[in-house]
Amino acid sequence: AACSCTSVNQSRPKMLLLLFVGSSAFARVRSVCTASDTQCLSNLVRQHRHHLEVARAQGSLQLHQSLAKLGLSAHAATEAASLLEALPRFDDVSGAPLNTAAKLLLQKQETNTSSALLGDAAPVQIAHGTWKYVLLECEDAAGVTGLFVRNAPNLQFHAEMAEQAIRTELHRMRKIKVLGGGRIAFEGQPRSIKIWGYSKTYGRCASCNERAAELVRGSAAYGQYEVSWSNAGY
């Protein structure tokens, strides 16, 4: 949505003030949005989404630095970051990336070149509840490959699941490839784990859900649960 703006001589309080102070369009913008002015912050985020998404892909520090360049206070920057986080990054129908930052996220997953050993990370880490999951193939420093099942709560997209896994305990693997994904329902009562569906972003490799189920059954942390899988549904 286009940002509504006001000049210095106007006094409408809930509008965006533009001051030309730099060479690029992004650097020239200075905002008078306050932390409580959600509409003003939302307009600002949408207007500069491309730059902010690229900064977010580089880390939270870079994102907050970019928001500070827009003239936001620390509190307002935190609110703006939350609004940015709520915007969809991948198409819910096709799974395709919707912006440059989402494309960078996929490229980052494909080009990780750090090194570690497979034994440094647990084969399976899943969260209670029903969430999307990804099946990853990793190659360690010795050239040995292995599969990993990962998901996390409160993440909307399969690519975000993969990003979190790669950014945390899998970040030192030499090579990482996302084979596919689906959904996992992990219930405490009854003690069951159900795996089904597919990923619109990564697709579903051959026997993806079956292989994920085998990994879960063989895991010391989840082997005591009744594990079932299906390729039905999304």
Same domain, 131 and 52: no
The domain of 136 spans 124-230
The CA dihedral of 105, 145, 120, 141, to the nearest 10 degrees, is -90
Give the ranges where 113-207 is alpha helix by DSSP (H): 158-167
pLDDT at 206: 84
d(CA 35, CA 195): 41
**What residues are annotated to the active site?**
158
The residue to which tokens 């932390």 are assigned: 35
CATH of the domain at 190: 3.50.20.20
Residue 52 lies in a domain: yes
d(CA 178, CA 106): 10
Helix (H/G/I), strand (E/B), else coil: 194 = strand
pLDDT at 227: 96
Same domain, 48 and 130: no
Same domain, 135 and 195: yes
Residue 57 lies in a domain: yes
Same domain, 74 and 130: no
Please tell me the total count of domains within the chain: 2
Distances from the Cα of 9 to the Cα of 20, 123, 126, angstroms: 15, 61, 55
End-to-end C-alpha distance for the chain, whole angstroms: 31
pLDDT at 80: 86
pLDDT at 3: 44
Same domain, 78 and 135: no
Chain centroid to CA 195: 21
pLDDT at 31: 60
Q: Tens of pLDDT along the chain (234 residues)?
A: 444 433 334 444 433 333 333 334 444 445 678 878 888 888 888 888 878 877 876 777 888 888 888 888 888 888 888 888 776 666 555 555 656 656 666 665 555 555 567 778 899 999 999 999 999 998 888 888 999 999 999 888 898 898 888 888 887 888 888 899 999 999 877 899 999 999 988 888 889 999 999 999 999 999 899 999 999 988
Distances from the Cα of 148 to the Cα of 84, 104, 180, 199, 234, angstroms: 29, 22, 11, 16, 21
Give the ranges where 121-202 is alpha helix by DSSP (H): 158-167
Same domain, 138 and 198: yes
The verdict on whether residue 69 carries a ligand-binding annotation is no
Are 89 and 99 in contact by the 8 Å Cβ rule? The answer is yes
Give the ranges where 100-157 is alpha helix by DSSP (H): 100-110
d(CA 226, CA 182): 18
pLDDT at 54: 76
Same domain, 157 and 210: yes
Residue 2 lies in a domain: no
pLDDT at 70: 87
